Amino acid sequence: MAKEGALTVGKKVILNFPKHTWDKPVVYTLHSKFNLIFNILKAQITPNEEGLMILELVGEEEKVREGIEFLREIGVGVRFLAADIEKDEEECVHCGACASVCPSGALHIDRETYKVIFDKEKCVGCELCVGACMYKAIKIGL
User: Which CATH number is 32's domain given?
Assistant: 3.30.70.260
Evaluate if residue 42 carries a pLDDT over 70: yes
Residue 59 domain-assigned? Answer: yes
CB 112 within 8 A of CB 47: no
Beta bridge partners of 77: 16
By residue count, the chain amounts to 142
4 contacts: CB under 8 Å, gap ≥ 6 = none
Nearest to 39 by CA among 47, 50, 27, 51: 27
Residue 3 domain-assigned? Answer: no
Q: Are residues 121 and 67 in the same domain?
A: no
Average pLDDT over every residue of 11-32: 89
Residue 52 domain-assigned? Answer: yes
Beta bridge partners of 142: none
Average pLDDT over every residue of 84-113: 94
Domain extent, residue 58, equals: 8-81
Q: Are residues 13 and 35 in the same domain?
A: yes
Residue 2 domain-assigned? Answer: no
